[in-house]
Structure 1
Amino acid sequence: MRSIILRIDRASTSLAMAVACLMLAVASLLGMYQIVTRFVLEQPAEWTEILIRVSLIWMVFMGIPTAFRQGAMVSVDVLYRWSPKGMRRVLDWVVCLAALTLVAVIVWWGWDYAQRGSVQSMAGLESVSMFWAYLALPVGGLFSVLGIVANLIDPQRNELETAQ
């Protein structure tokens, strides 16, 4: 069971990071396009502004699962170093449960927000619903759950191991 969860996590975290990298590239390209159209051609493309924002939102929420997987989101390094071995596992569980609670809130309210935003359209892209922008919250949250659980099963603490 453990190896199956870790295999699924590896695939999902890699997919999430690939999407995050793609969204960064999209935001960068759209930003360059906007600069060229605004300052060189003097014909600004308003639709690029909203797409840059949306791609940055997706980039952040798809990058979070990797941070959770590496144990970089909740930093309890000092407390972890000062604790005996038995207490460290308790800290792992506390961090896991706290992170899962936070992610559950993000998924729940993110889905609610996405549904409510489905009646809105993006400024400059009237035919595209805001649902697709707000969907980043629950999707990123669901990917994060796998990273949180995988970090509990197989903790990644490279920075702590080298510092001791």
Structure 2
Amino acid sequence: MKETFLRIERLTSSFSMAGACAMLVVASVLGMFQIVTRFVLEQPAEWSEILIRLALIWMVFLGIPTAFRHGAMVSVDVLYRWSPPKMRRFLDWMVAAASMALILVILWYGWDYAQRGRVQSMAGLESISMFWGYLALPVGALFCILGIVGNLLDPMREELETAQ
């Protein structure tokens, strides 16, 4: 069961990170497009700025699950380094519980905002609903839940090993 969950979690974390990378590419390409249209052609495309913001929001919320999976959660590193193994496991559970509480709030209110935003349109992109902007919160939160549980089952502490 544990191995099956970790396999699924690796797949979903890889998918979310690929999505985050794709959104970074989209934001970069649109940024270059915006520079060319504004300063070279002197005909700014107002819609590109909104799409850049949307891509950056999606990038962040799709990238966070990988940070959770790799143990880059809010933690007390000094306590963790000086604690015996049983205390470390207790700290793992406390950090996971606090992170899960935050993510569940983001999931709940993110979905609520997405539902309310269905009737709004994006400024500059009247044909696109704000639902798609707000949807990044619950989608990212769902991926984060899997990352938090995955880190609890199979801890990775890469941030402690690479910290300077």
Task: Name the TM-score, length of structure 2 as normaliser.
Answer: 0.96
For residue 121 of structure 1, report the CA deviation from its aligned partner. 0.5
**Identity percentage over the alignment?**
74
Shift of 1:162: 7.3
Shift of 1:161: 5.2
Tell me, in whole angstroms, the C-alpha distance in 2 between the residues paired with 1:38 and 1:144.
38
Aligned position for 1:35: 35
Matches within 5 A, 1:3-82: 3-82=3-82
CA drift of 1:35 comes to 0.6
Shift of the 46–159 alpha-carbon distance from structure 1 to 2, 3 Å rule, reads: closer
Q: How much has 1:130 moved relative to structure 2?
A: 0.5
1:20 Cα deviation from its structure 2 partner: 0.2
Q: Is residue 111 from structure 1 mapped to residue 106 from structure 2 by the alignment?
A: no
| Shift of residue 146, structure 1, vs aligned partner | 0.3
Segments of 5+ residues of structure 1 without an aligned counterpart are none
Runs of 4+ more than 4 Å apart: none
The within-5 A match list for 1:121-136 is 121-136=121-136
Once the two structures are superposed, what CA deviation does each residue of 1:44-99 show, in whole Å capped at 9, x if it has no partner?
A: 10000110000000000000000000011213211111111111111111111111
Superposed displacement of residue 106, structure 1: 0.2
User: Are 2:90 and 1:94 aligned?
Assistant: no
1:79-128 per-position Cα deviation (integer Å, ceiling 9, x unaligned) = 11111111111111111111110000000000001111111111121111
Stretches of structure 2 lacking an aligned partner (at least 5 in a row) = none
Q: Distance in 2 between matches of 1:23 and 1:36?
A: 20
